[in-house]
Amino acid sequence: MTARILNGATIRDAIYAELQAEIESLRAAGVRPGLAAVLIGDDAGSHIYVKNKIAACEKLGLHSERISPPPTITTEELLRQVDQLNRRDDIDGILVQLPLPPHVDSKKILEAVDPAKDVDGFHPENLGRLVSNRPGMVACTPAGCMEILRRSAIEVAGANAVVVGRSDIVGKPMALLLMHANATVTICHSKTKSLAEVVHRGDIVVAAIGRAGMLTADYIRPGATVIDVGMNQVTDPGVAGRLFASHPERLARFREKGSALVGDVHPGVADVAGALTPVPGGVGLLTIAMLMVNTVKAARLRRGASAGHTPAAAGAARR
């Protein structure tokens, strides 16, 4: 068996095509959605993420700004900057790129963002709305995973779904979205006993534990759908050799570049699963796509514009 690859680029492009119609309707009503990205420090991954988010805004014709305070900024100073963004009418969405410097209180900053502009879906009010299955901003990565399942015709209702990872920004909201879609959900984590046995029960497995290639083929029930959220940079030749032992072309690329981006799912899972998201080219593309959906939705709801819902925006609003 070779898994069907759930191509993130194809799904992203379909969402963007639908979203473009709503953006044009908003602009006809005099509204250009705006996104502000707050980026502090020199974390390479954060800079890449923000660059890709800004590029997506430009592609869709959204207004975007990158706010880059000095690394020495205090919690109080950053709170004042967030308050200024909350007050600006031309900014519909605010994202604070994590991680923040250790001396900054991340929770205080995230809670200071206006829930109506919280396009990351991290504010407690939006998390509470998700728990009670009421419309609100939903965290982009879990929302993107649900779009992959929906647009790939993967049956969620009645399925046994296993989420590996319990973070506030992926694991927990992912479990809630699957539950609201009528799956029977199990959440696993580092303390779960007999982890492989529990994961093996899943018709749908979402891997979001942050460990390169941790879920090997013996974790996966034959024919299961596997959504790989992991984004791990591997630089150790020994680790690469173990991961790519049966994939000489990937091992050759690793040796050429000195690094490789891999998910939480071992490449060997492709021989067992029925469907699988690739890394790269899978969930990461949908995370950015759903950020765009949330920004447009925030603009529509905040401005009271009369543009109709696109399928992508409507789907995100329901969750």
Cα gap 24→280, rounded to integer Å: 30
105 is catalytic: no
Helix and strand element counts for the chain (H, E) = 12, 11
Q: Which of 72, 65, 74, 76 is nearest to 38 (CA)?
A: 65
| Sign of the Cα pseudo-torsion (5, 294, 98, 189, in order) | negative
Q: Is 252 exposed, middle or buried (0-12, 13-18, 19+ CB in 10 A)?
A: exposed
| Given 97, 114, 228, 264, the catalytic residue | 97
Cα gap 16→295, rounded to integer Å: 13
> Residue 103: phi, psi to the nearest 5?
-80, -5
Cβ distance 143 to 290 under 8 Å? yes
Cβ distance 260 to 250 under 8 Å? yes
| Given 92, 114, 118, 120, the catalytic residue | 120
Cα gap 115→117, rounded to integer Å: 5
97 is catalytic: yes
| Given 53, 117, 172, 297, the catalytic residue | 53
Percentages (nearest 5) of helix, strand, coil residues in the chain: 45, 15, 40
What token pair was written down for 247? 């994939």
Alpha carbons within 13 A on the beta-carbon side of 272: 20
Helix (H, G, I), strand (E, B) or coil at 45: helix
Annotated catalytic residues are 53, 97, 120
